[in-house]
Amino acid sequence: MTEYCTKDWLIRYLAEELDLDERLEYLFHLDECLDCWGAVYSATKAKHPHYYKMSARQLKISEKELRKLESPPPSEEVVEVA
Ligand SMILES: [Zn+2]
């Protein structure tokens, strides 16, 4: 658990209320924290079901692998909330 593991952060992230620094910090946290990643995944999946036909586990693995191959890693591909 970290300071980012709160519903407040999740809600502010999904509502796009974070400033750029906070957003990057939170995205970095999502990469480290399965619980928060899962929460964002579930919330985003509800908004954009057609983007998320794979299971959460499969998507997590494929994104992790992508990040290993790409440098610098893209920061926006984790969630599509727009
Ligand atoms: Zn967390």
pLDDT for 53 equals 62
Give the Å distance between the CA of 28 and the centre of ligand 1: 10
Give the Å distance between the CA of 70 and the centre of ligand 1: 24
Give the Å distance between the CA of 29 and the centre of ligand 1: 6
Count of domains forming the chain: 1
User: In whole angstroms, what separates CA 75 from the centre of its chain?
Assistant: 9
Three-state SS string over the chain comes to: CCCCCCHHHHHHHHCCCCCHHHHHHHHHHHHHCHHHHHHHHHHHHHHCHHHCCCCHHHHHHHHHHHHHHCCCCCCCCCCCCC
Q: Is the pLDDT of residue 79 over 60?
A: yes
**pLDDT tens column, 7-59:** 999 999 999 999 999 999 999 999 999 999 999 999 888 877 766 565 555 55
pLDDT band at 77 (very low <50, low <70, confident <90, very high): low
In the structure encoding, which two tokens stand for residue 28, read together?
A: 């970095």
- Domain contains 51: yes
Give the Å distance between the CA of 39 and the centre of ligand 1: 9
- Domain contains 1: no
pTM of the model: 0.56
User: In whole angstroms, what separates CA 50 from the centre of its chain?
Assistant: 17
pLDDT for 46 equals 81
46: containing domain: 7-69
